[in-house]
Chains A and B, each alone.
Chain A
Amino acid sequence: MEENSRLKPEEIVAYFKEEFKAKVKESRIERRVAGVNKNEYVNIWIKIDKSIFKKAVKHLCSLQFPHLAVVSGNDLGKNIELIYHFSLYYGERLGEISLNLSVEIPKSNPTIETICDIIPGALTTEREKQEMLGVKISGIPDSRRLFLPDDFPEGIYPWRKDETGPQKMVRNLNEVRK
């Protein structure tokens, strides 16, 4: 994908804020240096509201087709936070910017839309979130289990910290059997 004008990190954040105004809840830009020459690399963290999630991803794709690395998830008590790790401007020496979009969804209604129609490579990571955190991804083309065995009980989500966590299933391999 040819890119005529590379945006600076502040401009990328402004690009989202202009389009979605108040639905962009928080944003921060982290700059770090590495090596003897102190080259800089940039991480951008943006928190957006669930209602504009899919539009925000489409908006991002109009900058450049991004690389979706993975989706990670946090159990925050009442909500579940999903963080989509994208990266932009790969292919240029020292030019890549990591963009992390995070969305919070309530545990009472843990649904979110799929982005497989925009980025087909997201299928594997969306299937994993369904079984590990109990999130329902609407519109996903294939909703079978990915890593857990088929006879693993329903309703137990290994990454959750509440009562649906895997405590009952944990075995200590070191214990001595009589």
Chain B
Amino acid sequence: MRRKTTSKTTYTLPIGPIHPAFKEPVMFEFEIDGEKIVDVDVSLGQVHRGIEWAGMQRNPIQILYLAERICGICSFSHPIAFARAVENAANIEVPERAEYLRVIHGELERIASHILWAGVAAHEIGFDSVLYLTWRMREKVLDLTEYLTGNRVTKAMITIGGVRRDITKDNIPKIRETLEYYKKNFEKLRHVFLDDKTIKLRSKNCGILTFEDALKLCAVGPTARASGVKKDVRVDQAYAAYGDLDIKHITPDILTGEINGDVYDRIVVRLLEVKQSIDLIEQCIDKMPSGDIVSEPKIPKLLSAIKKNAGEGIGRHEAPRGEVIHYVKLDGENEKPYTWKARAPTYNNILPWIPMLKGEQIADIPIVAASTDPCISCTNRVLIINKKHRKIMSREQLHRLSVEKTRRLMKTHHIIGGGTI
């Protein structure tokens, strides 16, 4: 929603230099007055590949590989939601051991994704050494993923009716060793992010999303939980093995005692979720039942079972960024789905950007936009409408503005030597 001003002037500002955490280029239009943002407008769509249309021409096993590549970071969440939707539509059972294995892989992906995000957020504030530190820590969980599944990023572990590979007794020592590493280093990560004075100055009271706005705009994931809205598919609905595990909603008052809905709270929520994931994986390994890992191992039989059943189903999962939901309709004559709708979590988290950015300064745009952990790659443009004159700034300049603000704050508050780094 844009206001028309009589003398429009534009700044073009792209967000984020090297953003792997962003999936699609996004165009923002800001109306600014001096340094403060008055109004925001978002326009999307530069990375529309026509995936849902392509999915309707393929059979469900082929769609699993396509769904993995909707997003490289949440590459486990989309296949799991799709598989659940097909299983609900065609009434296919999933064995209990497979449910526990799905939880283990989902939580490993959550650890990798949150640590990746922590590095990107630190880079936006200006602490490049924290970026390298966190990404170095992330390599350990990627090594474990490669040991268990064969690849670091796109794992191809899910099939309809179960998972493709098992975790045997010999794999368990390596899993425990990785979890011990993270438990030991969690305190270091927490100290770097939550005790640092500069990060507190940059992120407290910045980019606030109130409880009512988060509820009305249907925000999901850590963005909603940091504002106090308790939405988490793993806790609310019993799917996979989450019904058996001990899990609760993570909100910032567990650590700090209050809920503000600002960037600092989102950092707190994500770090606490890493700790929760480590705990959940341990519970799963202790309680895992034995049995089959897939209900129908022969693919032609599986496809003909899908062909015969007509129905519709939805599948939901809690990805690192929020709720993923897929809807599949089978018509009982073809094995190709009649309709497939995939909805990534960032879809719902776009509208909350508008109240978060109003009233903020330009130099805060990178950290506020990155704090929702969008799966959008803004390699391009951010358009700013200023009442004075037209100017085009490059990505580097915006990132530099953000870093300069950090250095200024550090000087005025007499922080020497870059804080805790």
Contacts and interface: CB of A to CB of B under 8 A. Distances in A.
Nearest to B328: A72
A92 B351 contact: no
B350 A124 contact: yes
B351 A37 contact: no
A95 B329 contact: no
A140 to B, nearest CB: 11
Contact of B341 (A33, A39, A70, A146): A70
Contacts of A32: 88
B394 to A, nearest CB: 24
Nearest to B347: A124
A65 B216 CA distance: 8
B221 to A, nearest CB: 12
Interface in A16-63: 30, 32-37, 39-41, 43, 45
Contacts of B217: 120-121
Contacts of B65: none
Given A67-B218, A145-B45, A74 B338 contact: yes
Given A70-B343, A121-B351, A146-B45, A91 B96 contact: no
A33 B52 CA distance: 29
A34 B240 contact: yes
Q: How large is the interface on A (under 10, 10 to 19, 20 to 34, 35 or more residues)?
A: 35 or more
A128 to B, nearest CB: 9
Given A124-B351, A142-B1, A145-B45, A65 B236 contact: no
Interface in A61-91: 65, 67-70, 72-75, 83, 85, 87, 89-91
A100 B314 contact: yes
Interface in B207-241: 215-219, 229-231, 233, 235-241
A36 B314 CA distance: 22
Interface string B107-143: 0000000000000000000000000000000000000
B323 interface: yes
What does DSSP make chain B's interface, helix, strand, loop or mixed? Answer: loop
A69 B235 CA distance: 17
Contacts of B231: 67, 90-91
A35 B238 contact: yes
Contact of A98 (B43, B96, B238, B314): B314
Given A37-B243, A83-B327, A96 B348 contact: no
Nearest to B87: A32
B404 interface: no
B327 A85 contact: yes
B68 interface: no
Contacts of B341: 70, 72-73
Contacts of B174: none
Contact of B53 (A41, A121, A124, A166): A166
Interface in A120-143: 120-125, 141-142
A115 B199 CA distance: 40
Contacts of B219: 121
B400 interface: no
Contacts of A159: 52-53, 339
A160 to B, nearest CB: 10
A37 B239 CA distance: 11
A96 B218 contact: no
A148 B215 contact: no
Contact of B248 (A65, A93, A122, A149): A93
**Which 7 A-B pairs give the minimum distances between C-beta atoms?**
A121-B218, A39-B238, A39-B243, A96-B236, A72-B341, A147-B45, A91-B230
Interface of B: 1, 43-45, 48, 50, 52-53, 88, 94, 96, 99, 215-219, 229-231, 233, 235-244, 248-249, 287, 289, 312, 314, 316, 323, 325, 327, 329, 338-339, 341, 343, 347-348, 350-351
Given A1-B215, A39-B243, A91-B236, 11 more contacts: A37-B243, A41-B237, A69-B316, A69-B323, A69-B325, A73-B339, A96-B237, A122-B218, A123-B351, A124-B347, A147-B44
